[in-house]
A and B are shown apart, each in its own frame.
Chain A
Amino acid sequence: MIEFLSALDQILSITHLTYLIAGVLVGLVVGIIPGLGGIAGMSLLLPFLYGMEPSVGLGMLMGLVAVIPTGDTFTSVLMGIPGSSSSQATVMDGFPLAKKGQAARALSAAFLSSMIGGVVGAVVLSVFILVARPVVLAFSSAELFMLTLLGLSVVAALSGGNVYKGLAACGFGLLVGAIGGAPATGEFRFTLDIDYLYDGIPLVVVGLGIFALPEIISLLVKNSAIASSPNKLGHGLKQGFKDVFQNLPLVGKSSIFGSLIGAIPGLGGSVVDWMTYSFAINSSKDSSQFGKGDIRGVIAPESANNACASGSMIPTILFGVPGSGAAAVFLGGMLLLGIQPGVSMISTHLDLTYTIIWSLALANILGAIFCICFTRPISLLTYIKFSILTPIILTLILFAAYQATRSLGDFILLGVVATLGIMMKGANWPRPAFLIGFVLSSGAENYFFQSIQFYGYDWFLRPGVITIAALIIVGFVLPPILKRRKQKMKPEQLAQDKEQNSMTKTVSWTDWGIIAVMGGSATYALINIWDASTLTKAFPIIAITIVLFSIVMIVSKYIREKHTKVSSDLAMNLVYIVGFFFIAYGYYLFGFISTTFVFSLLFLRFLAKASYVKSTTIAIGLVIFLVTMGRVMNVDFPEGLFDPYLLSAIKTVI
């Protein structure tokens, strides 16, 4: 207790606060810029760490880690681009809200729930850290495997009434996630001898391709502002706060769940938002608005991801095993400060641990306050004609994708995934199902084999495993029962559901296209993997089976039941995708910064019909942004043919 209070006293000193705020500001910036996350922010701060007072350095790092899940909400809501991997679920309802002209509401609700989530996470951490060791150790590979299954089971809730489409998408995600080294043997799968694929496919690119780019393109096709309806009074900041207070139970549950998932190394932050999102769907009386702009779809993941960032400190501090990417870098920072993680952190260095916790709480509060200050001006962006924003957003997306592995492969993959994303969006296939399958693929496979190798086949008798299995079953059984009860109470709801059912009974050429892509890839994968060793091919074959089985079910449904043929008008979208490939290649070939300038200028002037002054200003602004990023953050861009000249010209000027 004494340590607890003296740590508070310590972080309220001027030095500490200054560094903490510095960390918070850096964290917000890297959170806001898509593609940069904790790792980029840490690289920025690490050079200052060596030789710093440990508690001050820790405060600064914590300031950064804590607010990344706060700042990343901006682009998720305003542009449909996940600001970092922990706010992908926020896009689902945050972006539709922005389209309704309620960006400010979505953002303020998100920031307030982020703050509450972060503080709850810090509280859980301070209580839990003293007893956490045995709890963390209780989660063996078997329980971790069951947790990934629990994560996968949320696909059902996100499938929007068409379970087989969800299953197929999820199975396909599992299969795509299996590209690269097999965890059980180290052999490589589906690499097609392309170097890029050996490491597996980066999550950042998949997230951008499956969500962001399809949204951007469909907005371009429409060419209106993001917000299609004008903002009504009372739908701004205050409304967002009200929404949070009305949903406090949801905030509390999501926060506690988030910090616990964060505390268990192995699942990671990119799933927790989806799990709480589906949890919000399942626990709400009327879930018809999810995906169309339900504020609860923003509140749940945003509470969870900040709490998760706090929770992921537990395994990092106690075991030196990071629970997330940002935590991994934090661990490096600890080592640079000369602090060794481990049991000593709750015995001899308890004061440092409490410094970390207080810094977390304080940083979350500060970060949310900063963000709320900027909410109103920034949310006005959604009223600008979209074609003006296009070059800015496209540059951001390409920038973010290139940070994944810094190769041309990132751009190509982005285009390929985006093509799939556009088709899935056009034909109403659940994109989150694909993403969740992808995210959990390696974990599921890894923990499955590990638990079999460690425990043989009686691992499913472990109490922890049985508990989680029960949870999964409850998750499947409970929502339909609740629904039925609800329908007894409201007959008009029944009519609505019927209407929805007839809505889902449509089929278009795009559906057949997706079926062809998934079926074809799965068949090819099956032939490709057939000769590999058992441990290498077992998991992909499970994924392939899921895909093929679901596809057979979907097709047979098409044959048995009458489906209305609808035309899906994707031709224009696909033209844009082809255009995207060319532009992306241009960015790579001619140099990122020069192409940004030329493309933005031409696009704004001739396609968006902006004035010369406006076009030039935006283009120059983008160049300044990129050059600054390159200088300050040590970020690399494809140099191409012209960038070296351009950069040396800029150097002589500045």
Chain B
Amino acid sequence: MMRKIETNTAVQRKREIEDPQKRHSRHEAMEAVQMLDKLKYDFPHSLESMKYFYDLYERVYCKGEKIHSDKPLVGTLCIQVPYEIIYAMDAVPVRLCNGFHTDEQLGGEFMPTKSCSLVKATLGMLQSRDIPAADKLDIIVHPTTCDQKTKAISIIEDMSYDMYHMEFPRVKESEESREYWRRTVRKFTKDISKELGRKVSRRSLKEAIRKVGRAQMAYHKLNELRRVTPSPILGKDMFLITNAFFFDEIERWTEAVENVYEEVKKRVQSGFNAAGKRSPRILYTGSPPIFPNLKLPVMIEEADGIIVADESCSANRLLNDMVSVDEWFMYDMVDAIADRYLKGCTCPIFTKNEDRKRRLRELIEEYCVDGVVYQSFAGCQVYEMEQRSIMQEMEKINIPMLYVETDYSPGQGGQLSTRVEAFIESLKVRRRKR
């Protein structure tokens, strides 16, 4: 009798042990569901057209659906990889920048403790080979933008991924760097097409520029509506939309954004207010919020602020400038693409901070911003350093700024939300007096 019970528990125990890959996916799904539920249910008046995005995230991050399977997949480690050229080869770019705490912990094995959460999480994801929306990566492209990513490359190579390096300049004002980057992009076009065995033709490149341009246009139109007071759409939805651009099928994404635009436009016409009566208008900048690490944007809007504008590489900057072509010749198109990526970039890795300051000032004015929230991932030195000059600039134009250092860990809630709430409360008082 005794023995029988023992064998029973033994059998049962054996069944309970999960395969590591499955466990990893489960942890991720738990994280994703938690954030999605917050975004879906914790805010009133959700947009009907956002359902597409909620479903998309659920399919990809909770159910593990692979969206792209028939075409070559190019993983990109930074926003600076020219999407147009990849599309022109009839391949699909998938951005690998990652926001999972689960992956950050995995990646912590390879990186110093005091390094950026995003880079750690990306390494963790690559190590676990659980890449959202993508089955397998044919190649990973890495522009030498930030130091930590650049130094992480050898670690990724050790995980036996095929890597391609794109040399990126650190000063953008000079003619030399412009030429340097153009040459990098020309070389990239040639090398990748050889690597994937797919040609870029004049026609396919023109079509790709149009395709990306349409996506940008759809986003711009929607983004413009955020200038209106009262603001018709919450920032948390905008972050979800722009984050989906990382991995979604581009034409379907464009269409979904257009649907959101139509619905939000109707809201504007009826004078709808997505936030509270006295919600201060916030500009969000700094280290990029990437799903599911939307904790700071969500905190801001839970504290009765509304994010009306953003300046980060996971949102606004992603779709900033459009390619502007003089002549539809091959060389002209490739150079124009190169320019779009270099000139439009306001990443703090550049020597000078001027361009980012200028863009922030513009956004503050155009979107009637009351205050700025600046996030830096602990260990992201460039954002940590640039904070100082941005803070001084904001003092000059008399716009309050809250600087916060965060990472992906969920345990930062109390102190962080206190600071965010106090900041929003002080903005309300300022506003009342104006």
The judgment on whether A and B are partners is no
Q: Which residues of B contact A (CB under 8 A)?
A: none
Q: Which residues of A contact B (CB under 8 A)?
A: none
